[in-house]
Amino acid sequence: MSEFTSIYSREDPHLTRAFQLMSETPLIDGHNDLPWQMRLLFNNQLSKVDLHTFNGTHTNIPKIKQGRLGAQFWSAFVRCDSQYKDAVRQTFEQIDVVHRMCQKYPDVFMFASSSQDILDAFKQNKTASLIGVEGGHSIDSSLGTLRTMYQLGVRYLTLTHSCNTPWADNWLVDTGSEPSQHDGLSPFGKQVINELNRLGMLIDLAHVTVKVMEQVLEMSKAPVIFSHSSAYSICNNKRNVPDHILTKVKEKKGIVMVNFYNDYVTCSHTATISDVADHFDHIKKIGGAEIVGFGGDYDGVKRLPQGLEDVSKVPHLVAELLRRGWTDTEVKAALGENLLRVMKEVEKVRDSLSSSPPDDVPIPYEQVENPCRTSYGYNVTNHAPEHHLAIVTLLLPLFIQAFITLSHE
């Protein structure tokens, strides 16, 4: 037991117990935006930052150690205004920065792409580092891009961020601030769900409409996750999960990983650890302790609860759950066992579908046509500038000859 732990242990027996449980079961957090901060602050130049000493983010190596972070889904996130532009390139760069974090700090991070990898990293006292792509716009409506991301280690896809894609509606539709484009999922959106099941990639329903939640929970062959969402009954924000969906998540044996952002915790700018624990209690009440987890959203939000200001403070939330009467078994389930169970089941579904071929039916061109996209492969006229140039080059001599002939008549 470290000196830090010993100091707090003398003050709070619940915290003593929290540290003990966290030494037995990995804390697995569903969503952290440190890679996005690396882009904003350093343009992904990891050579310009030392995560041992840099203190300008919610997450650094001392905070990770202090917070007993066993495994982290790092977010490969790019903004919605990159959709139809350079979203795929930017997303690959965010995937790359996670890999390079693991390479730069091999004593701290171990890249992970499976449930077993998480357990192996925990045994080595390293933080298992997984990748989740936050937003379906990152695949540019391409199943080939989705498969390539899986090959690079991506293990969940958040179907939308805060914008509709050509195949799925985002949560803002439920607020009335944006129109629905697909009444949930389009036919291609359903292809995406099936391909995610076949690949063994977790389906993340944070950021989607309730209609999309219902459709996916109905059709997915594997359990689903909410990587960073809280309980709608506690805070009526449309980013949160309503009770009837919590019930369906229980039936599907999925998981809701509680978000710490004040606006989703209390629907206001201020919150406390106790307010966050209220969401854990409510989700446990509706769906059982087996569907709840941690999804802090550190480095992706501006306002965090008092007492949960950075990654180092998470053990205090665990202590609060124990203080409220959560059993050791329930706490260990929320810490990591629930996510491990979900991930193992997703891997099992993948293995059962191993003989199924990849879906190679593309999205209809008219659903994605825009000035930044060419139509190669589709049975439509290609509007690429070089195509026009080739036609002009071929026809120009004929026009010149016709002009000469007419001028002599």
Active site residues: 31, 33, 134, 161, 207, 228, 297
Cβ count near 345 (within 10 Å): 17
Q: Is 57 exposed, middle or buried (0-12, 13-18, 19+ CB in 10 A)?
A: buried
CA–CA distance, 253 with 181 (Å, rounded to integer): 29
CA–CA distance, 274 with 178 (Å, rounded to integer): 33
- Quote the Cα angle for 140-170-183, to 5°: 95
Contacts of 102 (CB under 8 A, 6+ apart): 109, 110, 111, 129
**For the residues of 264-277, what is the DSSP string, one character each?**
HHTSSS--BHHHHH
Position of tokens 């009954």? Answer: 233
Reported residue count of the chain is 409
Position of tokens 């205090």? Answer: 316
**For the residues of 319-388, what is the DSSP string, one character each?**
HHHHHTT--HHHHHIIIIIHHHHHHHHHHHHHHHTTTSPPP--PPPGGGT--TT---TTSSS----HHHH
The residue among 229, 230, 342, 206 whose CA lies nearest residue 281 is 230
CA–CA distance, 64 with 267 (Å, rounded to integer): 28
The residue among 264, 155, 174 whose CA lies nearest residue 212 is 174
Bridging pattern class, strands 292-294 and 154-158: unpaired
CA–CA distance, 318 with 326 (Å, rounded to integer): 9
Contacts of 385 (CB under 8 A, 6+ apart): none
